[in-house]
Structure 1
Amino acid sequence: MSISLTVDGIPVTVEEGATVAEAATAAGVYVPTLCFHDDHPPLGTCRVCTARVDGRLVAACTTVAPDGAVVEVATEEVAALRRQVVGLLFAEGNHVCPSCEKSGRCDLQAVAAETGMLASEFPYRYPRRETDPGDARLWLARDRCILCQRCVELVRDDAGQPVFTLSGRGPGARVELDHERADGLSEEQVDAAVDLCPVGAILRKGVGYDDPMGARRYDTASIRERALRGEPR
C-alpha cells in the first residue's frame, strides 16, 4: 500500500511504513544523518536528521511517514536547528580536521560542510578523554567519539557478541572496546568497524592518511550527492 505526502512542497508517494528520511530521499531532498547507516536499522541517537512533520520536530530516520503529512526539511528554522546539533558535536569533542586521519572521509566533517556549520556557536569544551590502545590492530580515540553508538549496535564478532559497549551516563558516557573479542575479528571485520565509525574515533593501527587528497570519499562526491544517489556513506 502506498501513501502520499509532501516534502518541502514536493509531492511524493512511498510505501506505507517508509520513514520520513526515506520519503525525503524519494523526493530528492537531502536529510543529513550520522548515526544512521545504510542496510542497518536506524538508531535515532544523533538527531542530526531532525525534520518537522505536521508542525512537530522528529528524528527523520526513525519516524514513520504519515499519509498526507507535510514535511519540512530545508526551511531555515529546521536547518538552523540541525546546524546547532552539529555544532554541539564539535564543541563537545576534539575535532581538529586538518590533522585527523579520517579527514576527507569523515561523515561529521562532511555533514558540517553541507549544513553550513563552519564554526560552532557553542563554547568548545576541549575534553581530555582516555584513549584505548585496543588490540594489535584497532585504536580507540575517544576524544573524537560522538556517541552515535553505531559501533555499539552494529559491530559483532562471529558469535554475535558486541565488540564495543557503552559505559557510564551523561557526560561520563564512553565507548568501551572488548580487546579479546576485537582480537578475534577478521581483517575484513576490522576494516568494516573502522569504516562504520562516522568520525576518526576507531582507527586501524599502522594506517593513516592512506587516501591522497583529491581521492578521498568526500573529495570525489559530497555526502549529499552520495546520499541522494543511494551510495554507501
Structure 2
Amino acid sequence: MDARSLSIDGLPVPFDDGQTIMDASLAAGIFIPHLCHHPQFTPQGSCKLCTVRANGRYVSACTMPASEGMEVESNTPELNDKRRTMLQMLFVEGNHFCPSCEKSGDCLLQALAYELEMLGPHFPQFYPDRPVDASHPDVLLDFNRCILCELCVRASRDVDGKSVFALSGRGIGKHLIVNAESGRLADTDFSLADKAAHVCPVGVIIAKRRGFAVPIGQRRFDGEAISRRVDWLARRRADDEEEQ
C-alpha cells in the first residue's frame, strides 16, 4: 500500500494513521511554531500559535488529523504576522523580562519571538501582580511568567498522577494555581523528579541551586534558531533536559 501524504507549504509530507498535521510536520523536520504542544501529551490546542490553513480553512496543526491530499499552508506572511501578534500579547500579559530570567536561551516563548522577528511588545504592558512561591525546598514558582499552556497541569495529572497544578478563573483573570489549601507548593507532594517539573516552556518552574549551570550563550536556542531544533521538539526526552 502506498504511503499516504499531505503537503505543507508545497512539500510532500508522509503521515501515518492517527497522526495530526503537527505530528507529520515534526516527523518530516518541518517547523510549525507552537508553545502548548508536547509529543508525550494529548494535544488540546491552547496557544493557537500552530494555526495553519488546511484546504483553505484555519485549524490548529496540533489537533487537526492529517488526511490524504490535504494542502497545508504554514510559513506565510499572513500566518506569521498573526503569530507575531499573539506572541506580543503573551509578552505584555505577563512579566517576561528575558535578561533577568534563568530560562533565557532555553525558553520557547523567547525563541519563537526571535524566530518570528518580534521587534517589540507593541501593546501596553499589563504588569500583573502575581505571587512568587519559594516555599518548596527544591523549586521556585514564578507565576508572573505563566502563559497558560497547561503543560504542567497535564504532566502532573496524566504522568505524575498528582494533579499539583490547575488553572483557575476565566478570561483575563485566568491564572495558574497550586492545588493545596494554602496555595503553597511546599504543602504538596511535588518533587523535582516529577515530569511536571521539567515541561514548562517558559520560566515558571525553576529548580533551586542550579542557576546558570549552563552559561548564557551556550543554551539550547542561543546558538541555533528554534526552527533548526525540530529534532528536539519532535522527541522531547523524558526529562526534557537534553544536554546542548
Length-normalised TM-score, structure 2:
0.85
- Provide the residue aligned with 2:193 in structure 1: 188
- Provide the residue aligned with 1:55 in structure 2: 56
Give deviations 1:94-130, integer Å, cap 9, x for gaps: 1000000111111111111112222122222222222
- Provide the residue aligned with 1:207 in structure 2: 210
In the alignment, structure 1 residue 225 sits paired with structure 2 residue 228: yes
1:53 and 1:8 mapped to 2: Cα distance? 10
- Provide the residue aligned with 2:200 in structure 1: 197
Deviation larger for 173-182 or 90-99: 173-182
Give the aligned CA root-mean-square deviation in angstroms: 2.3
Give deviations 1:123-164, integer Å, cap 9, x for gaps: 222222222334222222111110111111112499712011
Mark the CA change 1:23 to 1:142 in structure 2 (over 3 Å): closer, same or farther. Answer: same
In the alignment, structure 1 residue 43 sits paired with structure 2 residue 48: no
The residue type paired with residue 208 of structure 1 is G
1:216 and 1:159 mapped to 2: Cα distance? 27
CA contact (8 A) 2:15 2:24 kept: yes
Tell me the CA shift for residue 193 of structure 1. Answer: 3.0
Give deviations 1:163-218, integer Å, cap 9, x for gaps: 111111111111112357875344422xx434211111112233322211232122
Length-normalised TM-score, structure 1:
0.88
Give deviations 1:63-122, integer Å, cap 9, x for gaps: 111221110011111111111111111121110000001111111111111122221222
1:62 and 1:211 mapped to 2: Cα distance? 34
- Provide the residue aligned with 1:124 in structure 2: 125
CA contact (8 A) 1:49 1:61 kept: yes
Mark the CA change 1:121 to 1:7 in structure 2 (over 3 Å): closer, same or farther. Answer: same
1:217 and 1:134 mapped to 2: Cα distance? 29
CA contact (8 A) 1:104 1:216 kept: yes
The residue type paired with residue 174 of structure 1 is H
1:119 and 1:7 mapped to 2: Cα distance? 29
The residue type paired with residue 177 of structure 1 is V
Tell me the CA shift for residue 220 of structure 1. Answer: 4.1
Mark the CA change 1:26 to 1:91 in structure 2 (over 3 Å): closer, same or farther. Answer: same
2:152 and 2:135 mapped to 1: Cα distance? 14
Mark the CA change 1:214 to 1:173 in structure 2 (over 3 Å): closer, same or farther. Answer: same
Report SS of the residue matched to 2:69. coil
Match runs of 1:49-128 below 5 Å? 49-128=50-129
Q: How many residues align?
A: 231
The residue type paired with residue 112 of structure 1 is A
Q: Percent identity?
A: 43
1:114 and 1:29 mapped to 2: Cα distance? 14
Report SS of the residue matched to 2:137. coil
Gaps of 5+ in 1: none
The residue type paired with residue 203 of structure 1 is I
Mark the CA change 1:227 to 1:134 in structure 2 (over 3 Å): closer, same or farther. Answer: farther
The residue type paired with residue 209 of structure 2 is G
1:167 and 1:17 mapped to 2: Cα distance? 32
In the alignment, structure 1 residue 11 sits paired with structure 2 residue 3: no
CA contact (8 A) 1:6 1:69 kept: yes
CA contact (8 A) 1:43 1:62 kept: yes
Gaps of 5+ in 2: none
Match runs of 1:120-159 below 5 Å? 120-156=121-157
Mark the CA change 1:182 to 1:11 in structure 2 (over 3 Å): closer, same or farther. Answer: farther
